[in-house]
Chains A and B, each alone.
Chain A
Amino acid sequence: MSATAEPVQTDTRRTGRLALAAEFWAYFSENRGAVIGLYFFIFICLVAIFAGFLAPHGPDDQFRDALLKPPVFQEGGEWRFLLGTDAVGRDVLSRIIFGSRYSLFVGCVVVSVALVVGILVGLVAGFVGGWVDTLVMRVMDIILAFPSLLLALALVAILGPSLTNAMIAIAIVQQPHYVRLTRAAVLGEKHRDYVTAAKVAGVRPLRLMFVTILPNCLAPLIVQAALSFSNAILDAAALGFLGMGAQPPTPEWGTMLAEAREFILRAWWVVTMPGVAILLTVLAINLMGDGLRDALDPKLKRS
């Protein structure tokens, strides 16, 4: 660290986690879109956390004197309601701010559930092989044979329409991708020398799976996680829109769109605003996902 008079030939590269993180950030920040996406995502997270402070009104407060008020920048708008009000006089902006909580929550839950279960099943399938592997992969094929939204819709119909059930359904629908990725990675790593060495050294199967092999399979899984985070938000909104997700008066963005449908030609803002929120959130996450892929998995790099 101290300045030396003559250059000494030393390896100045830092090692350890910090260095890995620095290297990751160097690759990630090369992609300008990814950084913008990250900042916007952090912004949405902050909005969701501090929704109670940021929102000018409660999500369910009804202002009977201000039904279908247009946004402030349009004639007839009021400063009280920056993005206007809906058919029962609720502030659209406040509902969108509170809605961010639901979307992020859905994304987090779906990705965590799908990731954990997918990794477990994929590890077992890849590691054990034989009929277990065949059975697991056939079941995944069956899930993949149905269009994802249709399957989610059918599952929610069985479980009963609610946000929780929508999350369960979406997690099930996204499962096969994680299972397939984990299994493929495990099959690729299983016969590498370091695994054989660990095996010879007497490492137990469980430790071999989770400590030796798993960390080397994580890169594609993280990229997939980003991708399915945005898909989960889209699917949850679509289910909400079809009346099979969060139920009114929950300020979930897709549900808000469904409620707004009948005013489509009279009050454009009740339809436009929640959709913009969905689009921007999903876009930010996808931008981030592209950056993650470039940084973590040079093989997948689209150059």
Chain B
Amino acid sequence: MLRFILVKIGLLIPTFIGVAIAAFGFVRLLPGDPVLLLAGEHGVSPARHAELMHQYGFDRPMWLQFLDFLWHVMQGDLGVSIATKRPVISEFMALFPATLELSICAIIFAVVLGIPAGILAATRRGSWADQTIMGTALVGYSMPIFWWGLLLIILFSGILHWTPVSGRISLMYFFPPVTGFMLIDSLLSGQKGAFESAVSHLILPTVVLGTIPLAVIARQTRSAMLEVLGEDYVRTARAKGLSPVRVVSVHALRNALIPVITTIGLQVGVLMAGAILTETIFSWPGVGKWMVDSIFRRDYPAVQGGLLLIAIIVMVVNLIVDLLYGLVNPRVRHGR
């Protein structure tokens, strides 16, 4: 097992260096002079321009800038954001809990609805329930989520006035962030109504971000379940006279869940891409919106650091999924 883990981690190192080169390269290729952008409308004198170029290290050879970048990355230093003058890493870390909270809620939403829906569809194959669930899943899978978000805002915020339009919590409440998770912080603050406010702000973004994972999980659960239900040991269990519920929930589900768990793990990339759109629509102060803003502001270090950190998160989660898969499925661990 240890060997398996080490090999998997070893394979990540070249990808990590490649990702670092890519993140670094992107930003050097962005059009526009960062110093001029920094100076804004006032402009900057040539002498001051050169000084700033030197200060940020933009005047050194490309390869030296890259090695320097890599060296600092290893120490957890991703440079200073041009827009806010704060370290990129602390900017990212301050905003990441918002994205994480939203993503966790979205994936819970998707799993809690998707797995039972998939099981129901598989066990009642061909029925109207199956067709309805799979039809809905296909619609969800085809959904432009930025439009879906706007639609929900029109309905629930505009017409029904049930939920707020944007943000994480009502401006009435203010308390210092302890964990960065608004749901927990609002409870800790002890202020009346704060938790309810946080929940109501979270509902629509959760649904929007969770829609595509929900559809994917429902489809995957159904097909995995159908495959397993055709196996001999399920027939044996049925022949033994076990109740249908027990056959499905104990015998079939356990094995059917293995590919489903992999699918859930692979949704992390989908979630990060979805977070960009969801956070933009709902003005959710997370890393997705921050990345979009940074790209528009041409905030070189922020874009570079953000790209790198997000790619690392995706890689690490995929690694964990891989390892878990090896853990539950010995064939993968020892195979080849």
Contacts and interface: CB of A to CB of B under 8 A. Distances in A.
Is the pairing of A and B real?
yes
B183 interface: no
Contacts of A257: 146-147, 150
A145 B158 contact: no
A286 B31 contact: no
A142 B273 contact: no
Interface stretch (B106-114, B251-259, B308-316): B308-316
Contacts of B277: 149, 238, 241-242
Interface string A262-277: 0011001001101100
Interface in A23-46: 33
Contacts of B147: 241, 257, 271, 274-275, 278-279
B269 A148 contact: yes
Given A157-B295, A275-B150, A146 B31 contact: no
Given A157-B30, A158-B26, A150 B291 contact: yes
B contact face: mostly helix, strand, loop, or mixed: helix
Interface string B21-41: 010001001110000000000
A138 interface: yes
A147 interface: yes
B163 interface: no
A279 to B, nearest CB: 6
B163 to A, nearest CB: 13
Interface residues of A, number: 44
B29 A142 contact: no
Contact of B141 (A238, A268, A275, A286): A286
B138 interface: yes
A276 B38 CA distance: 41
Interface stretch (B11-19, B169-177, B239-247, B322-330): B11-19
Contacts of A275: 144, 147-148, 150-151
Interface in B113-155: 135, 138-139, 141-144, 146-148, 150-151, 153-154
Nearest to A282: B142
B226 interface: yes
A107 B139 CA distance: 19
Interface string B275-297: 01100100000000001100110
A238 B292 contact: no
A139 interface: yes
- Give the interface size bracket for B toward A: 35 or more
Contacts of B269: 144, 147-148
Contact of A147 (B31, B143, B146, B273): B273
Contacts of A179: none
Contacts of A271: 147, 150-151, 154
A172 to B, nearest CB: 11
B154 A153 contact: no
A261 B142 CA distance: 21
B280 A242 contact: yes
Contacts, number: 129
A268 B154 contact: yes
B311 A146 contact: yes
A297 interface: no
Contacts of A278: 144, 147
B153 A264 contact: yes
A96 interface: no
A287 interface: yes
Contacts of B157: 265
A154 B222 CA distance: 36
A145 B19 contact: yes
Interface string A237-266: 110011100000000001001000100110
A215 to B, nearest CB: 28
A259 to B, nearest CB: 12
A213 interface: no
A115 B301 CA distance: 34
Contact of A150 (B14, B30, B272): B272
Contacts of A265: 153-154, 157-158
B289 to A, nearest CB: 11
A138 B295 CA distance: 26
B262 interface: no
Contact of B158 (A141, A160, A242, A264): A264
Shortest beta-carbon contacts, A-B, top 9: A275-B147, A149-B273, A147-B273, A142-B18, A147-B272, A282-B142, A283-B142, A302-B223, A145-B311
Given A147-B270, A242-B277, A265-B157, 4 more contacts: A146-B311, A238-B146, A302-B223, A303-B227
